[in-house]
Structure 1
């Protein structure tokens, strides 16, 4: 957290009151983009000491090259809120090609939005050229390339314009804040500072039009609300449910990125609840959403909630997390449902039924979220380990303990044991999941001698694969010449 001086806070709050007072007097909440509110250095808490040194390098070099450049959006917003900023995005009137000539460590990315990434080791500073309006007739600095779908979604948008047009094109008022390293002033084009202190998420422009341009803005509204502990403005949230079907047009790869932002940032539980409330969750996990609505799986809601709660805890305590674990938890019950169906309808072996269900579940899920193969492999290991952990006789327990993903599989078992009751959930030989989880917890802590004693006490599994003994062939009797 950034400690803000009381004098600065009072100054900013008084300025916000004046802004809100003017809006009420004019009976309008619409900002004037041609006349931004300008906060001088003594009226805001944004300081270079809170910024990345690399971001400052980019600002200085762009300014020295004769271009206007501003720290924009979340970096400015978070400092005003007293939070440590994580992202340092820059907006400039330099085109991507002009930016590239200034920085040898620059790479240009994107087709829908042309961006410049300035690479400093592991840190990447994103630089975007000011955006112009779609219907602009003037060619601003470069060739205009804009394309929209029938639903109004922007498929490609590389129209460049002025800082005023760029501010109007931004999604939320709290993100239309620009800090200049030249004069140390903050330029507020959409009454964003007022909304920061009013703790509300408000779209710039007509909400329905803005959502149609980019349906992911509905997800961003939810994410900012939970991340910043704010409320979504009534006008901004009103059309979300009716426009939720637009999410079907979002590419699976982009939804994977949005999944990471929503579920791997320490606010998974809150985001999950809002996504469900606004009918958006189904576009991430359609099979899970169907089971939740039909209540076809007794424990699914509690299981998912517990998995997300544990993920949030680990993220907020700087512990290692992997999306694969949460994906495995989300799809565990759809996976079990597919296995049960295959067992009813076919005569497949348990192993073949598992891999058949795995193929079906992942094929369906990939149409919504493009889960990378490296995470799919971990999910498969976690699920396979649930069966391996249930079979502990002979050398099986020691082999399971040596598995590279044992810890993830064991943690998954702990979740199942906590949710599924002993009366309803049984594994081999009548042992409950709670007893099984406790056994594995003790087994990990014991020395080898004690582990061997624990394993010997396990009754061999009746359902396990039987060892077949090879029959000895009878010696072949050679026929003698007299038998001919």
Structure 2
């Protein structure tokens, strides 16, 4: 259902929800996880309201397979814990109940209120427009209008299997439109991460962002400075590890949000040579998307190695030009880039250390003589570093011949590897022998012949 521009920023009415009975919507219990149904039925049995809510409902209506099933109820977290022995309460900012079924977790949230009553005042804290704590409980109607986007404010009622819509989410779902509930600027100020969620849902669902919801994305990006760096890491993993990372990258840059999250990288991209545009980031993200879509594993270490490589590469090139050894330059620059990035997005050490190893191994690929290639091949981070080398070759940073040599070297037999390495050693031998005072002529002659043979073999 299309709406006029005058209706865009209206506040939906909490008193007249749209109720869609079971025969008139497409959600079937057959498509809801057995564990989520157990939670819903058990809460109903204990005389609590129980609704499937959020992304699970949205995805079921779109014909997608939900990643998570979340439950909303009028039971407090403590009451949920009394109902389920396999329950843990988590969170301070938002108190939640997690009901565990092995590795599967069903998240149960109590209906949030508006925090206006005296009894609720201490449970909801807002500082400079940002919600820092929200444990004020209320009704399902209040809860619906506390949610972010209209398409995420749809409830599936286990009582009668109906669908409840307080915010015109069904109309926006049909129109392929992403719309914030309430005043967009206020909602972004309450939680700036909603700007990243807007980008994520737009890319994931292929929806357009409604004009009033989109406009502040160009203006309020600076609010992300107030979000804890650790939380931003979690949000970026959701953004870039869902199979549409390249689209996310382009949208973040379009709205100016990427520059706030990765200022060093954005500065490097902005200084690119117009005759040789920087493509490694785009290629790396496209590669990650392809792996995710093919069901292959991915790691944040490789993702952030791609996202932060440009400022590292530029810094290393500058220091090498000033006379520093490349390994020393790599160590120093990568440390500096990581320290600056941590203040924006906190990458845990279990990912930042492997990321730096991927970078540190890049110069070693140039060393193809003696035992060095064999030692590099056994390095625990070799495969990730090799994949990174392939990206650099595709982007034109290094000669494709280098990447092809390492591809052949991995697949070669022991004798073939020895021959490949011997060829590399022979190419270096004439330079060492020129310094000898005796027998130089005959030695050089032999060396040149060997080098020529090696080149022919390549």
* Same fold by TM-score greater than 0.5: yes
Q: Which residue of 2 aligns with 1:55?
A: 36
Q: Which residue of 1 aligns with 2:347?
A: 371
Instruction: Kindly report which structure 2 residues correspond to 1:151-166, keeping only aligned pairs within 5 A, or say none.
Output: 152-166=129-143
What SS does the corresponding residue of 1:154 show, helix, strand or coil?
strand
**Cα distance, 1:283 vs. partner?**
2.4
Q: Which residue of 2 aligns with 1:329?
A: 306
Gaps of 5+ in 1: 1-16, 426-432, 467-484
**Cα distance, 1:354 vs. partner?**
2.3
8 A contact 1:335–1:361 mirrored in 2: yes
The 2-side partners of 1:407 and 1:435 are apart by 18
8 A contact 2:265–2:308 mirrored in 1: yes
Q: Which residue of 2 aligns with 1:309?
A: 286
Instruction: Kindly report which structure 2 residues correspond to 1:275-354, keeping only aligned pairs within 5 A, or say none.
Output: 275-295=252-272, 301-343=278-320, 349-354=325-330
What SS does the corresponding residue of 1:178 show, helix, strand or coil?
strand
Query: 1:449–1:24: structure 2 CA closer, same or farther, 3 Å change rule?
Result: closer
The 2-side partners of 1:376 and 1:70 are apart by 40
Instruction: Kindly report which structure 2 residues correspond to 1:192-271, keeping only aligned pairs within 5 A, or say none.
Output: 192-271=169-248
What SS does the corresponding residue of 1:86 show, helix, strand or coil?
coil
8 A contact 1:173–1:190 mirrored in 2: yes
The 2-side partners of 1:226 and 1:387 are apart by 36
What SS does the corresponding residue of 1:282 show, helix, strand or coil?
helix
Q: Which residue of 1 aligns with 2:125?
A: 147
What SS does the corresponding residue of 1:131 show, helix, strand or coil?
coil
Q: Which residue of 2 aligns with 1:7?
A: none
For each residue in 1:209-267, what CA deviation from the matched residue of structure 2 results, as whole angstroms up to 9, or x when unmatched?
10100011111111111101110001110121111111111111011011101111011
What's the RMSD between the two structures over aligned residues? 2.3
Q: Which residue of 2 aligns with 1:405?
A: 381
Instruction: Kindly report which structure 2 residues correspond to 1:439-478, keeping only aligned pairs within 5 A, or say none.
Output: 439-459=405-425
**Cα distance, 1:349 vs. partner?**
4.3
8 A contact 2:9–2:212 mirrored in 1: no
Count, aligned residues: 430
8 A contact 2:361–2:385 mirrored in 1: yes
Query: 1:192–1:452: structure 2 CA closer, same or farther, 3 Å change rule?
Result: same
Relative to the length of structure 1, the TM-score reads 0.84
Gaps of 5+ in 2: 433-458
Query: 1:65–1:395: structure 2 CA closer, same or farther, 3 Å change rule?
Result: same
Query: 1:258–1:50: structure 2 CA closer, same or farther, 3 Å change rule?
Result: same
Query: 1:299–1:59: structure 2 CA closer, same or farther, 3 Å change rule?
Result: farther
**Cα distance, 1:144 vs. partner?**
3.5
8 A contact 1:265–1:315 mirrored in 2: yes
**Cα distance, 1:131 vs. partner?**
0.5
Query: 1:182–1:348: structure 2 CA closer, same or farther, 3 Å change rule?
Result: same
**1:36 is matched with which residue: 3, 17, 36?**
17
Q: Which residue of 2 aligns with 1:12?
A: none
The 1-side partners of 2:181 and 2:203 are apart by 19
Query: 1:36–1:461: structure 2 CA closer, same or farther, 3 Å change rule?
Result: farther
What SS does the corresponding residue of 1:179 show, helix, strand or coil?
strand
The 2-side partners of 1:342 and 1:389 are apart by 20
**Cα distance, 1:316 vs. partner?**
0.9
Matched, 1:128 2:104: no
The 2-side partners of 1:34 and 1:69 are apart by 19
Query: 1:460–1:189: structure 2 CA closer, same or farther, 3 Å change rule?
Result: farther
Q: Decide which structure has greater helix share.
A: 2
Matched, 1:185 2:162: yes
Q: Which residue of 2 aligns with 1:476?
A: none
Instruction: Kindly report which structure 2 residues correspond to 1:15-30, keeping only aligned pairs within 5 A, or say none.
Output: 30=11
**Cα distance, 1:55 vs. partner?**
0.7
8 A contact 2:370–2:425 mirrored in 1: no
What SS does the corresponding residue of 1:301 show, helix, strand or coil?
coil
Query: 1:462–1:358: structure 2 CA closer, same or farther, 3 Å change rule?
Result: farther
**1:390 is matched with which residue: 366, 371, 374?**
366
For each residue in 1:193-221, what CA deviation from the matched residue of structure 2 results, as whole angstroms up to 9, or x when unmatched?
11101000000000011010001111111
Q: Which residue of 1 aligns with 2:438?
A: none
The 1-side partners of 2:335 and 2:275 are apart by 24
**Cα distance, 1:361 vs. partner?**
1.1
The 1-side partners of 2:9 and 2:388 are apart by 53
**Cα distance, 1:298 vs. partner?**
7.4
For each residue in 1:34-76, what CA deviation from the matched residue of structure 2 results, as whole angstroms up to 9, or x when unmatched?
1110010100011111111111111111111221110001111
**1:45 is matched with which residue: 19, 23, 26?**
26
